[in-house]
Amino acid sequence: MVKLLLPGLLISSLALTAAYAAGEPNADAYRQMTYGDRDANPALLVVDRGEELFKEKRGPKSVSMEECDFGLGKGVVKGVYAELPRYFKDTDQVQDLESRMITCMTTVQGFDAADLKKKTYANEKANEDNTELEAIAVYIASQSDGMKINPSTSHPKEQEAIKVGEALFYHRAGPLDFACVSCHGADKQRIRLQNLGNFSKAGPDAQKAIGGWPTYRVSHNAVRTMQHRIWDCEGQMRLPDTEYGAPLSVALIAYLAAQAKDGTYVLPGMSR
């Protein structure tokens, strides 16, 4: 059990969490009924929209994203997400899907990065539909459906990113002294009915979580990506927003993907 120095209310709710006892109220039936049928996932229409955007000649240079390299050569989308994050020679950086999309859309299509980052996430409180970035990301990711989670980890910069990600995972910050590990550092934790996967070790929790992102979040009525997940966690932790695709976020994702290695991607996912 992780030792926490959190405000009273939160301590008590976390301290009481344990595996569901037999007969304890849980959302298992709801999850099976809602997320179980992959044909009922509204993300499928967002994937289709993402595919159109991906293949369309867009931007000042009027070029399609098929001219981009996401790690397996120009124009290859099948399987690229399964091996991300990875090191890219042309940017001399480890990049996740979304930071790589920005690289592509700026260098190849001629878009302005600052402009692109103005419309990163749909505002679910305003009942908005997914942004172009979200649609494109879930399209590319879904082309790795069924494949093993296999981020590249052999390059020294990849290993460095994973180490930085791990350090960040344990780094306590903000007014509530939260680290990722505060919620995700022990087995069988939950907060109310939501399970808090243990990402401090390689294993099934990490595999299941990472394997299901991007996902259609029913509580948002929108597809959400890993960049959004990190950003959303930061919000919950009362930490400042990370810029879309920032190295900090890539390092965290590299660490989580490494913990999830050998799991299977089920994409697009569907979750709360």
Partner 1 sequence: MASVKLKAKAIDGGLIEVKALMTHPMETGLRKDSATGEVVPAHYITEVVVTANDKEVLKTNWGGSVSKNPYLSFHYKGAVGDKVKLTWKDNKEGTDSAEIAVE
Partner 2 sequence: MKRRKFLTNTLAISAAGIAIGSGLVSPQRALAAEEPATNPFTAKTLDEALKLINATDHKPSTDIQLKAPEIAENGAVVPLTVSSTLAGVTGISIVVANNPTPLAATFTLPEGTKAEVSTRIKMAKTSEVMALVQTKDGLFSAKQEIKVTIGGCGG
Phi, psi of 222 (to 5 degrees): -155, 155
- Which listed residue (12, 15, 18, 48) binds partner 1 by CB under 8 A? 48
How far, in Å, are 47, 87, 101, 241 from residue 244 at the CA level?
20, 18, 11, 9
191 lies in the site for partner 2, by CB under 8 A: yes
Task: Identify which of 34, 260, 55 has the alpha carbon closest to the alpha carbon of residue 143.
Answer: 55
3 lies in the site for partner 1, by CB under 8 A: no
- Which listed residue (12, 26, 62, 123) binds partner 2 by CB under 8 A? 26
Query: What DSSP designation does 228 have?
Result: H
- Which listed residue (6, 31, 152, 208) binds partner 2 by CB under 8 A? 31
Smallest gap from residue 39 Cβ to partner 2 (A): 11
22 lies in the site for partner 2, by CB under 8 A: no
**Residue 180 designated active-site:** no
Residues 207-246, interacting with partner 2 (CB under 8 A) = 218-219, 221, 236
Please provide the size of the chain in residues: 272
- Which listed residue (1, 19, 40, 191) binds partner 1 by CB under 8 A? 40
Query: CB neighbours (10 Å) of residue 84?
Result: 28
- Which listed residue (6, 44, 63, 76) binds partner 1 by CB under 8 A? 44
CB 187 within 8 Å of CB 14 = no
Return the structure tokens found at 28. Answer: 């298992």
Residues 210-239, interacting with partner 1 (CB under 8 A) = 218, 221
Task: Identify which of 163, 59, 169, 73 has the alpha carbon closest to the alpha carbon of residue 108.
Answer: 59
Which does residue 41 bind out of partner 2, partner 1, none, counting CB within 5 to 8 angstroms by kind?
partner 1
Residues 127-156, interacting with partner 1 (CB under 8 A) = 127, 129
DSSP state string for 132-178:
HHHHHHHHHHHTTTT-B------SHHHHHHHHHHHHHHH--BTTTTB
Name which of 29 and 126 has its Cβ closer to partner 1: 126
- Which listed residue (41, 99, 131, 227) binds partner 1 by CB under 8 A? 41
**Which residue type sits at 178?**
F
Return the structure tokens found at 48. Answer: 């289709």
Bridge partners of 87, per DSSP, are: 94
56 lies in the site for partner 1, by CB under 8 A: no
Task: Identify which of 103, 140, 114 has the alpha carbon closest to the alpha carbon of residue 223.
Answer: 140
Residues 137-176, interacting with partner 2 (CB under 8 A) = none
Q: Which residues bind partner 2 (CB under 8 A)?
A: 25-27, 29-31, 33-34, 40, 190-194, 196, 218-219, 221, 236, 272
The catalytic residues are: 233
Q: Which residues bind partner 1 (CB under 8 A)?
A: 37, 39-42, 44-46, 48-49, 52, 125-127, 129, 218, 221
